[in-house]
C-alpha cells in the first residue's frame, strides 16, 4: 500500500494570509502617498500660508 506524501506548508489560515502580508506594505505606501498630501492640502487651505510661513513653519489659522 502506498502512503500519501507529507503535507507541505502550514495551516490553511496561515497559508491564506501570506499573500495579504506581502501586499500590505505596498498598499500602506500607496495610501500614505495619496492620503498625506490630501490632508496637508486641506490643512494649508485653512491657513494664511505664504513663503515666509513655509520656511518658518508658523502659519496663522484663518478658518473658513
**51: pLDDT strictly greater than 90:** no
Output the pLDDT for position 26. Answer: 97
User: Which region among 16-20, 21-25, 41-45, 57-61 has the lowest average model confidence (pLDDT)?
Assistant: 57-61
Closest by alpha carbon to 47, among 63, 35, 31, 23?
Answer: 63
pTM greater than 0.85: no
Q: Is 19 exposed, middle or buried (0-12, 13-18, 19+ CB in 10 A)?
A: exposed
Please list, in sequence order, all residues whose beta carbon lies within 8 angstroms of the beta carbon of residue 15, skipping any fewer than 6 positions away.
Answer: 9
Task: Provide the 3-class DSSP secondary structure of residue 18.
Answer: helix
Amino acid at each position: 500500500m502506498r502512503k500519501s506524501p507529507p503535507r507541505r506548508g502550514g495551516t490553511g489560515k496561515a497559508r491564506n494570509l501570506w499573500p495579504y502580508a506581502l501586499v500590505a506594505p505596498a498598499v500602506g505606501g500607496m495610501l500614505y502617498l495619496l492620503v498625506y498630501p490630501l490632508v496637508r492640502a486641506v490643512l494649508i487651505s485653512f491657513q494664511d500660508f505664504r513663503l515666509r510661513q513655509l520656511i518658518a513653519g508658523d502659519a496663522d489659522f484663518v478658518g473658513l
